[in-house]
Structure 1
Amino acid sequence: MKNYLFLTKDGFTYDGSNYETNNLQLLGTGVGNDILEAFVSFKYNQSYLLNQSFKDIFAVEYVGDFIMNLEL
Structure 2
Amino acid sequence: MPLAFLLVALDNLIILRSLSNSEYLLAARRQSEEKQISFTERKTKGLLKIVAKRLSENDLHKKSAREYTH
Higher helix share: 2
Larger relative contact order (C-alpha < 8 A, sep ≥ 6)? 1
Sort the TM-score into its range (normalised by shorter chain).
under 0.3
TM-score (norm 2): 0.23
